Amino acid sequence: MDRYAVIGHPINHSKSPFIHTLFARQTQQHMCYEAIELAKDGFIAGVSELFANGLRGCNVTVPFKQQAYQFAHQLTDRARVAHAVNTLKMTDDGLILGDNTDGAGLLTALDLEFGSLADRCILLLGAGGAARGVIGPLLAANPRSLVIANRTHDKAQALAEQFSTLGGIEAMSLTNLDGRFDLIINATSASLAGQRLSLPARVIHPQVCCYDMMYQVGMTEFNQWAKQLGARQTIDGLGMLVSQAAESFAIWRGIRPGVRQVISEMRRNMNV
């Protein structure tokens, strides 16, 4: 049986094994999928050993996406643009292919749950691997503007400069943010730790939609904050998780599973 996994630190919260079990059942694929936690300083050694022992592919989550980028022997175009990898595959010739399905997953989820991004003003919070993976696809969706903000402003500025050739993007400090945005995307990992971001309340208004890439049973801290301040809509990252997982599954198995039924099943399973 072909073996796959999701690798991160922490990883006990991950629903990826359940999702890929549903995909495998839906598409009649003979495979298994598990969650594996590696030490923060042990990704390269750990993933090397896993592939040497027969792993066929894996998803990579925080905090290892940029290390996975360095680990891969070959990279897809979208992984090169992102400078981050969330999907690794052992190819038939023994090389490791690195891809990034985060952006495609986010856009699929937003299309299902929010609508078109064309001519919208978007705020992206965070400057780590999750943010890197979605900037290119967000710009390709032709928003009116894309602003990136991060606790460390220099990191946001560096990302804005890196992606400036792909479209209109700028960095702003957290304290200078205002209420211009139609969509606010939280790409930080703060929700995993139950932490609240240091954002001015004025970014929230009755027309804004807030999207947290993280997910949990019940509302994330970010979405709770946004809803309390009167945001029109709050969405968690479950739809993105399922959609990017479907992209990864297609890379590994050559068949693309449907996502709507799996998202519904996940909602029922998590009671969210």
As annotated, the binding site for NADP(+) includes: 77, 126-130, 150-155, 213, 237
Does the annotation count 40 as an active-site position? Answer: no
DSSP 56: E
- Feature table: binding site: 14-16, 61, 77, 86, 102, 126-130, 150-155, 213, 215, 237, 244
Q: Rounded to whole angstroms, how far apart are CA atoms 82 and 136?
A: 7
- Strands ordered across the beta sheet of 74-75: 31-37, 2-8, 55-60, 87-90, 96-99, 74-75
Per the residue annotation, which of 40, 65, 89, 227 is the catalytic one? 65
Local structure of residue 21 (DSSP, 8 states) = H
| Parallel/antiparallel/unpaired status of strands 87-90 and 55-60 | antiparallel
In the chain, the DSSP E strands lie at: 2-8, 31-37, 55-60, 74-75, 87-90, 96-99, 121-125, 145-149, 169-171, 183-186, 209-212, 233-235
Write out the catalytic residue numbers: 65
